[in-house]
Amino acid sequence: METKKPTLDKDLDKIAYVEEATGVLARGYVAPGIALLFIIVVMVVATAFVAGETGAWIIVAAAAIGGYMALNIGANDVANNVGPAVGSNAMTMGTALIIAAVFESAGALIAGGDVVGTISKGIINVDAVSDKNIFIAAMMSALVASALWVNLATWVGAPVSTTHSIVGGVMGAGIAAAGFGAVIWPTMGAIAASWVISPLLGGVIAALFLFFIKEKIIYQDDKIAASKKWVPVLIAIMAGTFSAYLALKGIKKIIKLDMSTAILIGIGIGILTWVVTKPLIAKQAEGLENRNQSIRKLFAIPLVCSAALLSFAHGANDVANAVGPLAAIVHTVELGDVASNVSIPLWVMFVGAVGISIGLLLFGPKLIRMVGQQITKLNPMRAYCVALSAAITVIIASWLGLPVSSTHIAVGAVFGVGFFREWYTGKSKTRRAYVQAHESRHETKSIEPKDKAEITRRKLVRRSHFMTIVSAWIITVPAAAVLSGILFFPLSAVLK
């Protein structure tokens, strides 16, 4: 016999449900609320530094926009550095957020560039926007447009290049201010070429390293012996590459080194790392079972280190570009002239560094999951290939003088790993021989598709995410340019 709840109990249940729903709704406003509070704090800090100066309100407004841009960079761009490590379970989301926030800030404040081109590396001619008010309006519209575009991309789950967003914003404002002749088109052509070169090069390098790992370690009868031989070599390559990467791109504020010197430093560090890690890996491999899961443990610590180093280098190399338009506005308002190069004030660097860290902590997990888990399945070996490919590709691009996007490289490497796995599953003779020789083992039974139809069905890269991301890459510059060009006219009218 059923007993009905008393009326009071029903009312209390309803109140509890309402309170729970209200709590869930309120949590959704916490992150935007903190972000808004950060922007307000940025405006207060800017006011403290420029109070009493002519045009102080312009700097305060630009600082708010710069803080908003920094938040969006943290939400979108930093995912490329830690996403593969999180997706491979080498570290948790919380650990990734802390490491990325600390090392991004450290890279920006310790080794960030102290001088940037106010026209974003020669996108438009300085003479075309020599009027102070026109220049300020152009830089401000570029900041707003790029920030809005990156925000939209983050919302739809597409990792895009913040540098390309700013480039598009500056180009659009330059066209609106002085026509198409204001744009330095050879530079734009090189940037357009990098849309194709960056992801392809990153994907090919990542695929080659994964091919090596599969052929020399995973599909060997004695995986542990193969790991003892080759894992120290792979870690040494990573250490040497990152040393050269940081020497070339990450510490240029402290000391400037040429390519040959950076490569020699990388070779030296690589050899030293091999000598040190060989006995350590041999000791760590003792007692491990002869299975793939055991090999993954050997890559965990190198992956954590790579995420930290990528974050440091990103902070050092990209934050200055992100706050460059803000620094240009500050310089122009304070000194009244449009210079080709300006120094970035320390408080502006703090806005960039802290804003990126806060944006990462508040909104970063969405894109971290996209890069690390939703494009293709990653394990420590695949994530290692992505991280190493990112560093090597930037070094090669620097040597060739090509402007590349770290976002395109890292995501391209993830695509490369996924598409290579699709090809390798059906084409590799080494894998087929290994499976045939060990088909009685449980682990090989679980990974071997039954027929060609199953191989075709099992797509290891999600096509929907692939198309969304590639489409976002293609339209980033024109979208930011159009939006910036539209914003330029009301902003220039206000500043007259």
Q: What are 95's two structure tokens?
A: 């650990």
Structural domain includes residue 208: yes
> So what's the pLDDT on residue 147?
92
Structural domain includes residue 8: no
Query: What spatial distance separates the first Cα and last Cα of the chain, rounded to whole Å?
Result: 81
Structural domain includes residue 12: no
Q: How many domains does the chain have?
A: 1
Type of residue at 483: L
Structure confidence by residue, pLDDT tens digits, 406-427: 788 888 899 999 889 888 876 6
Structural domain includes residue 200: yes
What pTM value is reported for the model?
0.80
Please state, in angstroms and rounded to a whole number, the distance separating the CA atoms of residues 10 and 48: 56
Please state, in angstroms and rounded to a whole number, the distance separating the CA atoms of residues 391 and 316: 14
Structural domain includes residue 432: yes
Please state, in angstroms and rounded to a whole number, the distance separating the CA atoms of residues 13 and 285: 56
pLDDT in tens, the chain (496 residues): 455 556 655 565 656 655 555 554 445 678 888 999 999 999 999 999 888 777 888 899 999 999 999 899 888 888 888 888 888 888 888 888 888 888 888 877 776 655 455 454 568 877 777 788 888 898 899 999 999 999 999 888 888 888 888 889 989 999 998 888 888 888 788 777 877 888 898 999 999 999 999 989 888 888 899 999 999 998 899 889 888 877 876 666 667 778 888 889 999 999 999 999 999 998 888 888 888 888 888 888 888 888 887 788 777 766 766 677 888 888 888 777 776 567 778 888 888 888 888 988 888 888 888 888 788 888 888 888 988 888 788 777 766 666 677 788 888 899 999 889 888 876 666 666 666 666 555 444 444 555 554 444 456 777 777 888 888 888 998 999 999 999 999 998 888 7
Structural domain includes residue 84: yes
Task: Please tell me whether residue 123 adopts helix, strand or coil conformation.
Answer: coil
* Cβ burial, residue 279 (10 Å; 0-12/13-18/19+): exposed
CA neighbor of 188 nearest in space, from 477, 452, 493: 477
Domain containing 102 equals: 34-495
> So what's the pLDDT on residue 107?
79
**Radius of gyration over every alpha carbon of the chain, rounded to an integer in angstroms:** 25
Please state, in angstroms and rounded to a whole number, the distance separating the CA atoms of residues 22 and 25: 5
Please state, in angstroms and rounded to a whole number, the distance separating the CA atoms of residues 155 and 363: 10
Structural domain includes residue 211: yes
Structural domain includes residue 25: no
Structure confidence by residue, pLDDT tens digits, 362-372: 888 888 888 88
**How many Cα atoms within 13 Å fall on the side-chain side of residue 128?**
20
349 neighbors 112 (Cβ within 8 angstroms):
yes
Furthest-apart CA pair in the chain: how many Å? Answer: 89
Range list of H helices, 336-370: 346-369
Task: Write 447-453 long-range contacts (CB < 8 A, 24+).
Answer: 449/425, 452/426
Q: What are 470's two structure tokens?
A: 């590639």
